[in-house]
Amino acid sequence: MKKAIITCCVFTASLVSGLAVEPQDSTTVRRMGQNPDVAKEFELNPVVVTGTGTHQRLKNTTAPVAVVTANEIKRAGITDFQQAMTMMVPSLSFNPTTMGSYLMMNGLGNKYVLILVNGHKLIGDISNNIDLGRIDMSRIKRIEVLNGAASSIYGSDAIAGVINIITNDPEDEITFTSSSKYSGKGQYTQDLNLDIAKGKFGSSTAYRHTQANNWQNSPYETVTAKDGTVGLRETVYPLSFGYHSNSINQKFTFKANDQLSFYASGNYYWKLTDRPVKTKDTNGGFNYDLHNESWRFEGGGLYRINNRNSIKLDLTADDYSQNHKFITDYQGYVPGDYAMSKRQKYYNAELRGVFHFTQNSNTVFGLNAREDKLKSSSGDVEGDAYTLSAYAQHELMWNAFKATVGARYDYHELAGSHFSPKATLMYSVGGFNFRATYAHGFLSPQLNELYYKYYNDNAGKKPTITIGNKNLKAGKSNYVSLNAEYRNDRFSMSVTGYLNYLNDMITRKAYPITDEVINWSRQNLHLTEEQIDRLEDYSLYVNFDRAIVRGVQVDASANLFPGFIVTGNYSYTYSRGKLDGVWQNIERSIRHTGTIAANYSHSWGYYRLNINLNGRLQSKRLFPDEDDAPGYGIWNINTRHTFDHIKHVQIEPSIGIDNIFNKKDCRPKGVNYALLSPGRMLTVGLIVKFY
């Protein structure tokens, strides 16, 4: 698998670098076609904001940023955030479980990854797995991925990197779009979008519905007897849970004049799993479904002092809850009853000023106040913590050099004070950019890690206890990287090597059950003697002694000839942690990952054909105390057909195949999986746009 990944990525890079290209516009390459109304642009140098917190062209930012555009997502026929990141960004991976997908980035887990929507933190998790269903793919303009620590701008959580999802604002006077996609196992997505831009006023309304069925690749699960022997038994426990969800997004914008503008937005999200019912005659059923619900509100304004200086205020309130909806009579509940499992709240206010005091510099000042709240019945947690922050950043350009220095001061109610510096330097000559980066990151202990008291019977199998630790220290990192990049009008290639040194990294460690833990369980978890007898070990949140992540990333992209685009990306990550004096692989990390895509587009009059081939290859996923999950390679193809002959109407049917070579893991439930796929699936879609 490793040789296959390296071979594919080197071949792609060699192919695109060896071809002669014709010069075109420095910002974009327009795909050739007879109808200019349906021609699309291939952007080699888009505007990005995540690297420095200010809008800059990709080739000009001192921090290297990976960008996935809405056009790339659309061409691949993708309507799911996880699939988009899996197939297009090799530094990201998802460890699939029936309870959600555990996000990994550059060898580190999801709590070290900061997910932003238009620069504002997104909360919400399902059993510590990020609830990616909250992300509305129909509104995405681009996704920016910044690798490494970025606490100097974004504060806690930004250690492995930052994913910033940028959404569209209305531009046309009125546009209505319906987008549908259907594939196997009952997977269905429906998006409805209405955009209005009239004078000073703008409105964006979006509705999304998604659903899927339960499915298995094997009807068996592994069972361990008391004597240690492992056997099999039939189960109805799904490999992937069925669900249905709905979300509504509304955003208003108002431009009072050339200097002053405002925005306000709200989001409602609702999701319910459809799990098999527990009965006396089956194994693997459930007494309740999981119900997730959230409300999110944002608002703020921008005041442009002049063309070069501005002040912006952003306010965010995010409320996310997870509940149990009972489907059997269980512990005094009857079918239809709800019980709250966990509720998270997040409030944030940020005031930021961007100033150009000289012709060749820009300076950012910011103040930030944040409050996090958590109430969990299953973990017996109810607490909150506030954070107060101030930060500054200065960017200076002279001749071929560009440098950025910044620092942030955070005071966390529980973890105390923290200072986070960052410095980057870029040298440009011809089409080449050379970058060097140092950045400090930190991660305050989460409320559940401090106070959790949680028992999980794991649907009747081996039960687990998770205990919080009030003596945890904040995790810290020091990140350094070197980057070399070449860009011209038709081709770009970037190579980045990095080291991320982490101290006091927070993780869970399993320990044998002791009499002290048994007594604690009786008092705090009110376990029965039968439940206690089944306990084998417990998990405690602890700090790693230290951890080191070493990595190399290679990205190449080219417009080989009019209408044909090829991209190849490769990521190598060596992620190790030291616990109790012993070095081991960081759980769920992957050494080698590669993504490859080829896209062809051509127009004939009012018809445009787009063909997209997309592949991901990765080596095995590492588990220090368990069997590793095997590596895999998966390929998708999608064709899109655009008809633009009706005035003010555009119709785009699509048809494709996911998992062309029918790759799937048919081992019994109870092992570690790297790929959750039911195998080869036909996908069909339809987009109808009225404008």
Rounded Cα distance, 563 and 462, in Å? 55
State yes or no: pLDDT of 564 exceeds 60.
yes
Rounded Cα distance, 446 and 493, in Å? 38
Tens digits of residue pLDDT in 131-168: 888 888 888 999 999 888 888 888 888 889 999 999 98
Q: What is the mean pLDDT of residues 197-217?
A: 94
DSSP string, 275-287: PPBP-TT-SS-BS
- Select the highest-mean-pLDDT range: 448-457, 472-481, 537-546: 472-481
Q: Which of 60-64, 166-170, 195-199, 522-526 has the lowest mean pLDDT?
A: 522-526
Tens digits of residue pLDDT in 621-668: 998 878 899 999 999 999 999 999 899 999 999 999 999 999 999 999
User: C-alpha angle 475/481/485, rounded to 5°?
Assistant: 145
**Beta strands 288-304; 310-326: pairing state:** antiparallel
State yes or no: pLDDT of 345 exceeds 90.
yes
CB 12 within 8 A of CB 568: yes
State yes or no: pLDDT of 254 exceeds 70.
yes
Average pLDDT, the chain: 86
Q: What is the mean pLDDT of residues 362-369?
A: 94
Please report whether residue 114 resides in a domain: no
Please report whether residue 83 resides in a domain: no
Distance of CA 493 to the CA centre of its chain: 24
Distance of CA 46 to the CA centre of its chain: 20
- For 644-648, the CB contacts below 8 A with 24+ separation are 644/35, 644/37, 644/38, 644/606, 644/607, 644/608, 645/605, 645/606, 645/607, 648/690, 648/691
Tens digits of residue pLDDT in 226-245: 676 888 999 999 988 999 99
Show the tokens assigned to 60.
Answer: 């000009």
Rounded Cα distance, 166 and 467, in Å? 37
What pLDDT is stored for residue 8 in this prediction?
A: 40
CB 455 within 8 A of CB 523: no
Domain span at residue 588? 2-29+169-690
Q: Side chain identity at 242, as an amino acid letter?
A: G
State yes or no: pLDDT of 1 exceeds 50.
no
Percent of the chain at pLDDT > 70 equals 90
**pLDDT greater at residue 54 or residue 201:** 201
Rounded Cα distance, 53 and 65, in Å? 12
State yes or no: pLDDT of 36 exceeds 70.
no
What pLDDT is stored for residue 208 in this prediction?
A: 96
User: Residue 70 is inside which H or E element, if any?
Assistant: helix 70-75
Rounded Cα distance, 394 and 220, in Å? 59
Kindly indicate the confidence band of residue 38, based on its pLDDT and cuts at 50, 70 and 90: very low
Identify each DSSP E strand in 463-619 by its residue range: 464-467, 475-487, 491-503, 506-512, 537-543, 546-561, 564-579, 582-585, 592-604, 607-618
CATH number at residue 311: 2.40.170.20
Q: Side chain identity at 146, as an amino acid letter?
A: L
How many domains, the chain?
A: 1
Rounded Cα distance, 135 and 206, in Å? 12
**Beta strands 310-326; 338-355: pairing state:** antiparallel
What pLDDT is stored for residue 20 in this prediction?
A: 32
State yes or no: pLDDT of 473 exceeds 90.
no
Query: What does residue 4 show for φ and ψ, rounded to 5 degrees?
Result: -65, -45
Helix, strand or coil, per DSSP, at residue 60: helix
In sequence order, which residues have a C-beta less than 8 Å from that of residue 607 and are 6 or more positions away?
641, 642, 643, 644, 645
Please report whether residue 651 resides in a domain: yes
Q: Side chain identity at 471, as an amino acid letter?
A: N
Please report whether residue 576 resides in a domain: yes
Please report whether residue 567 resides in a domain: yes
The number of residues in the chain equals 691
**In the block, residue with structure tokens 């489907």:** 327
Kindly indicate the confidence band of residue 29, based on its pLDDT and cuts at 50, 70 and 90: very low
Rounded Cα distance, 451 and 503, in Å? 21
Identify each DSSP E strand in 213-360 by its residue range: 220-224, 230-234, 243-255, 260-273, 288-304, 310-326, 338-355
Q: Which of 90-104, 308-322, 325-339, 593-607 has the lowest mean pLDDT?
A: 90-104
Rounded Cα distance, 375 and 373, in Å? 7
User: C-alpha angle 306/311/313, rounded to 5°?
Assistant: 150
Rounded Cα distance, 460 and 379, in Å? 19
DSSP annotation of 461 reads S
Please report whether residue 589 resides in a domain: yes
Q: Which of 56-70, 572-586, 670-684 has the lowest mean pLDDT?
A: 56-70
CB 640 within 8 A of CB 610: yes
Side-by-side strand order, sheet with 453-456? 453-456, 464-467, 537-543, 506-512
Please report whether residue 94 resides in a domain: no
**Beta strands 260-273; 288-304: pairing state:** antiparallel
State yes or no: pLDDT of 53 exceeds 80.
no
In sequence order, which residues have a C-beta less than 8 Å from that of residue 317 and are 6 or more positions away?
295, 296, 297, 298, 345, 346, 347, 348
State yes or no: pLDDT of 184 exceeds 70.
yes
251 DSSP β-pair partners = 204, 265
- Cα 577 to Cα 91, 496, 503, 506, 530, distances in angstroms: 19, 22, 9, 11, 36
**Beta strands 113-117; 161-167: pairing state:** parallel
Show the tokens assigned to 570.
Answer: 């490769």
Please report whether residue 61 resides in a domain: no
